[in-house]
Structure 1
Amino acid sequence: MGAVDLLIKEIITVYGSTLLLTVVIVYIVHWQWAKFVKNIYRLHLMGFEAECAELAVNYKKRLFAPLNGAISNDKILQSEGAIRLLEIGVKTGENIQFYPDGTHLICVDWNRKLEDYLMKSDRAWQFSHVKFKKLIPSDGRSLKVIPSNCVDAVVTVRSLCACSSVRETLREIRRVLAPGGKYFFLEHVPDKEETFTRWLQDFLTKTKIYPSLFGDCRLDSNPLCNIKSTGFSKVSWESIVLKGYVTHPYHFYLSRNHIMGIATK
Structure 2
Amino acid sequence: MTFFMHACAFFIKMITLPLHVAETVGLLSFYKRVFPYVMSKCADAYNDKMNDKKRELFRSLSKFYPTNGPLRILEVGCGSGANFGYYPTGCKLTCTDPNPHFRSYLEKSMAKNDHLVYDSFVVASGENLQGVEDNSVDVVGGAFFFMEHVVSDPSSWIYFLQHVLQPLWYYMGYFCETTRAIWKDLEEAGFSDLQLRHIHPPLFFMIRPHIVGYAVK
How high is the TM-score relative to the length of structure 1?
0.66
- The answer to whether structure 1 residue 259 and structure 2 residue 207 are counterparts is no
Where do 5+ consecutive residues of structure 2 fail to align?
A: 1-20
Aligned to 2:175: 216
Q: Is the 8 A contact 1:83 1:152 kept in 2?
A: yes
Q: Distance in 2 between matches of 1:112 and 1:38?
A: 9
Q: Distance in 1 between matches of 2:114 and 2:172?
A: 32
Q: Distance in 1 between matches of 2:32 and 2:90?
A: 36
Q: Distance in 2 between matches of 1:113 and 1:220?
A: 26
Aligned to 1:226: 185
Deviations 1:62-101 (A, max 9, x none): 101122364227xxxx1x3x11100011112111111111
Match of 1:54, as an amino acid? D
Where do 5+ consecutive residues of structure 1 fail to align?
A: 1-25, 155-176, 245-251
Match of 1:254, as an amino acid? M
Match of 1:220, as an amino acid? T
Which protein has greater RCO, CA pairs closer than 8 Å, 6+ apart?
Answer: 2
Q: Distance in 2 between matches of 1:124 and 1:234?
A: 31
Q: How does 1:131-150 map to 2 (within 5 A)?
A: 131-150=117-136
> Aligned to 2:100, what secondary structure does the other structure show?
coil
Q: How does 1:1-265 map to 2 (within 5 A)?
A: 33-35=28-30, 38-39=33-34, 41-68=35-62, 70-72=64-66, 78=68, 80=69, 82-119=70-107, 121=108, 123-154=109-140, 177=141, 181-205=142-166, 208-243=167-202, 252-265=204-217
Q: Is the 8 A contact 1:190 1:201 kept in 2?
A: yes
Q: Distance in 2 between matches of 1:150 and 1:228?
A: 25
Runs of 4+ in 1 over 4 A off after TM superposition: 30-33
Q: Is the 8 A contact 2:89 2:116 kept in 1?
A: yes
Q: Distance in 2 between matches of 1:106 and 1:37?
A: 22
Shift of 1:234: 0.9
Shift of 1:146: 2.6
> Aligned to 2:139, what secondary structure does the other structure show?
strand
Larger Rg, first or second structure (1 or 2): 1
Identity %: 25
Q: Is the 8 A contact 2:150 2:180 kept in 1?
A: yes
Q: Distance in 1 between matches of 2:50 and 2:179?
A: 21
Q: Distance in 2 between matches of 1:138 and 1:34?
A: 17
Q: Distance in 2 between matches of 1:36 and 1:92?
A: 16
Q: Is the 8 A contact 1:44 1:214 kept in 2?
A: no
Q: Distance in 1 between matches of 2:84 and 2:26?
A: 35
